[in-house]
Structure 1
Amino acid sequence: MTIIPTFRTVLVATAAALIGFGSASAAEEFDLSPQQSGRTHAARNEAAIAAISKGFKFATAGKFTVAVAPGGPPLAAYATDARTVVGADPDYASAVADALGLKLELVPVAWADWPLGLTSGKYDAVISNVGVTEQRKEKFDFSTYRQGLHGFFVTTKSKIASIKEPKDAAGLRIIVGAGTNQERILVKWSDEDTKAGLKPIELQYYDDDAASLLALRSERAEVIVQPHAQLVYIAARDKDIKSVGTLSAGWPDRSDVAIATRKGSGLAAALTAATNGLIQDGTYAKILDRWHLADEALQKSETNPPGLPKF
Structure 2
Amino acid sequence: MPAHASRRGVLAGAVAAFLALAVPAFATDEIDFGPAQAGRVRATKVDAAAKLIPTDYKFVTPGKFTVAAIPNRLPFSVLATDNKTPIGSEPDIAQLVADVLGLDLVLVPIAWADWPLGLASGKFDAVIHNVTVTEERKEKFDFSTYRKDLLGFYVSQTSKIESISNPEDITGLKIIVGAGTNQEQILLRWIEANKAKALAPTELQYYDDEVVLDLAVQSGRADAYFGPNAVSAFKATRQNNLKLVGTFSGGWPVTAEIAVATRKGSGLADAVTAALNAQIANGNYARLLARWNLTAEAIQASQTNPPGLPRK
Give, as a single letter, the amino acid of the residue that structure 1 aligns with 2:24: F
How far the C-alpha of 1:169 sits from its partner, in A, is 2.4
Residues 39-61 of structure 1: per-residue CA shift (max 9 Å, x gap): 11113222211211222111111
Residues 57-84 of structure 1: per-residue CA shift (max 9 Å, x gap): 1111111111111011111111223222
Q: Who is 1:43 aligned against? A: 44
Q: Who is 2:225 aligned against? A: 224
SS of structure 2 residue aligned to 1:51:
coil
How far the C-alpha of 1:16 sits from its partner, in A, is 6.3
What TM-score comes out, normalization by structure 2 length? Answer: 0.90
Q: Who is 1:21 aligned against? A: 24
Give yes or no for contact 2:151–2:247 (8 Å, CA) kept in 1: yes
Give yes or no for contact 2:85–2:107 (8 Å, CA) kept in 1: no
Which is further off, 54-63 or 207-216?
207-216
Residues 180-207 of structure 1: per-residue CA shift (max 9 Å, x gap): 1101001112233334454333222233
Residues 150-206 of structure 1: per-residue CA shift (max 9 Å, x gap): 111001111212222223323222111122110100111223333445433322223
Alignment of 1:1-311 (within 5 A): 20-23=23-26, 25=27, 27-311=28-312
Give, as a single letter, the amino acid of the residue that structure 2 aligns with 1:183: E
SS of structure 2 residue aligned to 1:184:
helix
Q: In 1, Cα distance between the equivalents of 2:306 and 2:39?
A: 32
Give, as a single letter, the amino acid of the residue that structure 1 aligns with 2:153: F
Give yes or no for contact 2:21–2:218 (8 Å, CA) kept in 1: no
Relative distance call for 1:215 and 1:17 in structure 2 (3 A) is same
SS of structure 1 residue aligned to 2:65:
strand
Give, as a single letter, the amino acid of the residue that structure 1 aligns with 2:279: L
SS of structure 1 residue aligned to 2:118:
helix
Segments ≥4 residues shifted beyond 4 Å:
11-20
Relative distance call for 1:142 and 1:58 in structure 2 (3 A) is same
Give, as a single letter, the amino acid of the residue that structure 2 aligns with 1:79: A
Relative distance call for 1:84 and 1:168 in structure 2 (3 A) is same
What TM-score comes out, normalization by structure 1 length? Answer: 0.90
Which is further off, 209-218 or 141-150?
209-218
Q: In 2, Cα distance between the equivalents of 1:228 and 1:37?
A: 26
Q: In 1, Cα distance between the equivalents of 2:34 and 2:306?
A: 35
Give yes or no for contact 2:22–2:215 (8 Å, CA) kept in 1: no
Give, as a single letter, the amino acid of the residue that structure 1 aligns with 2:78: A
Give, as a single letter, the amino acid of the residue that structure 1 aligns with 2:301: K
Give yes or no for contact 1:18–1:214 (8 Å, CA) kept in 2: yes
How far the C-alpha of 1:19 sits from its partner, in A, is 5.5
Give yes or no for contact 2:41–2:284 (8 Å, CA) kept in 1: yes
Q: In 2, Cα distance between the equivalents of 1:134 and 1:61?
A: 31
Identity level (%): 54
Give, as a single letter, the amino acid of the residue that structure 2 aligns with 1:235: A
How far the C-alpha of 1:13 sits from its partner, in A, is 8.6
Residues 28-49 of structure 1: per-residue CA shift (max 9 Å, x gap): 4432222211111113222211
Q: In 2, Cα distance between the equivalents of 1:132 and 1:18?
A: 37
Q: In 1, Cα distance between the equivalents of 2:139 and 2:20?
A: 44
- RMSD in angstroms over aligned alpha carbons? 2.0
Q: In 2, Cα distance between the equivalents of 1:272 and 1:66?
A: 15
Give yes or no for contact 2:22–2:212 (8 Å, CA) kept in 1: no
SS of structure 2 residue aligned to 1:145:
strand
Give yes or no for contact 2:60–2:125 (8 Å, CA) kept in 1: yes
Give yes or no for contact 2:146–2:259 (8 Å, CA) kept in 1: yes
Structure 2 unaligned residues grouped into runs of 5+: 1-13
Q: Which has the higher strand share?
A: 1
SS of structure 2 residue aligned to 1:224:
strand
Give, as a single letter, the amino acid of the residue that structure 2 aligns with 1:122: K
Q: Which has the larger radius of gyration?
A: 2
SS of structure 2 residue aligned to 1:128:
coil
